Amino acid sequence: MSIDIAVVPVAGHGTRLLPATKSQPKEMLSVGRKPVVQYVVEELGLSGIQRLLFITSHGKASIEQHFDFDEQLGGYLRETGREEQLKALEFERLNMEYFYTRQRRQLGLGHAVLCARPLIGSQPFVVALGDSIIGLHAQSDIVRRMISQFESNHADVVVAFEEVAPEEVVHYGIAQPAGEVSEVFQLEKLVEKPSREEAPSNLAVAARYVFSPAIFDALTRIKPGKGGELQLTDAISLMLDGGCKGLGVTLSKTERRFDIGNFDSYFRTFAEFAMSDPEYGASLRSFVRQLLDREET
Ligand code: UTP
């Protein structure tokens, strides 16, 4: 059976988005009409994922509630003649089984993935970050393409990459490809936040991964970094150094990564999604144009 399980870490503090994230998860912030994490789940559904394990933490209960059936709300909308609005709840019926476990201390993304070990066991699995959307309105099947490469090439790890501008490489884990780069390439190494001069490519890690269970051993062998955090990229590097087979899959030109982890990227993402809303996008665009014209005069 093809891989149909994904781990979605949503346990981080989201300190870069304070005060918005003081009492609500950053993964529940709205981008256009939907919370970020709903886009992530819908995208995974498009790629054939049917079992989803959230790594949650204190203060993240609204994520669980969001994916529950809300019979009361559905009943209320029907009784009051607002059937039209039921469409907004259609995501409740996605063919997805939800599981939850807690990361009790926020010891980094690597540690969050390690929390999945007792439930994932010895099967390969996907990891999708809960604060990153792939493709405008999450229209992407990147995970399906990654799973297909993982299976047909008997890989141990497949990482999604996005091309970034040369001055941006300092913010990301960057791929060192083993040869020519095309849609799929051999991954030799990952270099964490290199300088522009030292960067082996301009391909940045893009929030989606497929792993064999060997990642769990690697996560127990790496040393914690700043603040006791376990970095997922360190564990991937350890796997690659130890001879595991790594592949990179590049996002296509129409699949951008929208990371909402800081206000700059959150504002841009919200603006782009809202301006392409089928109902309100056109009027918002003309409103923004008016604002900008006013600024220039
Ligand atoms: P970030 O690296 O953006 O960290 O997480 P963060 O803690 O959420 O945010 P800042 O740096 O304080 O602003 C990327 C993804 O990994 C999850 C987050 O919830 C987010 O979806 N994560 C991060 C965890 O699940 N656990 C962690 O310990 C850290």
Q: pLDDT by residue (tens digit) across 213-264?
A: 999 999 999 999 877 899 999 999 999 999 999 999 999 988 999 999 999 9
Output the DSSP codes for 110-139: HHHHHTTHHHHTTS-EEEE-TTEEESGGG-
Instruction: Pull the structure tokens for residue 41.
Output: 């789940």
Looking at residue 54, its pLDDT comes to: 98
Residue 226 CA to ligand 1 center (angstroms) comes to 14
Domain ranges of the chain: 5-261
In this structure, are residues 140 and 49 in contact, taking their beta carbons and an 8 Å threshold?
Answer: no
Looking at residue 228, its pLDDT comes to: 86
Looking at residue 157, its pLDDT comes to: 98
Fold of 5-261: Spore Coat Polysaccharide Biosynthesis Protein SpsA; Chain A (3.90.550)
Instruction: Pull the structure tokens for residue 2.
Output: 């093809």
Nearest CA to ligand 1 atom 10: 14
Average pLDDT, the chain: 95
Looking at residue 205, its pLDDT comes to: 97
Residue 241 CB-density burial (10 A; 0-12 exposed, 13-18 middle, 19+ buried): exposed
Residue 283 CA to ligand 1 center (angstroms) comes to 35
Q: pLDDT > 90: what percent of the chain?
A: 94
Looking from the CA of residue 105, the nearest atom of ligand 1 is 28
Q: pLDDT > 70: what percent of the chain?
A: 100
Instruction: Point out which residues pair with 160 in neighbouring strands.
Output: 249
Query: What is the rounded CA–CA span in Å between residue 13 and residue 1?
Result: 36
Whether pLDDT at 180 is above 90? no
Instruction: Check the CA dihedral 103-106-107-112 and report its sign.
Output: positive
Task: Supply the DSSP symbol for 198.
Answer: T
Whether pLDDT at 189 is above 90? yes
Looking at residue 226, its pLDDT comes to: 76
Task: Supply the DSSP symbol for 161.
Answer: E
Looking at residue 4, its pLDDT comes to: 96
Average pLDDT over residues 286-294: 95
In this structure, are residues 42 and 94 in contact, taking their beta carbons and an 8 Å threshold?
Answer: yes
Nearest CA to ligand 1 atom 18: 12
Residue 210 φ then ψ, to 5°: -125, 130
**Ligand 1 pocket at CB < 6 A:** 9-16, 27, 55, 103, 106-109, 111-112, 129-131, 261
Average pLDDT over residues 194-210: 96
pTM of the model: 0.96
Looking at residue 187, its pLDDT comes to: 97
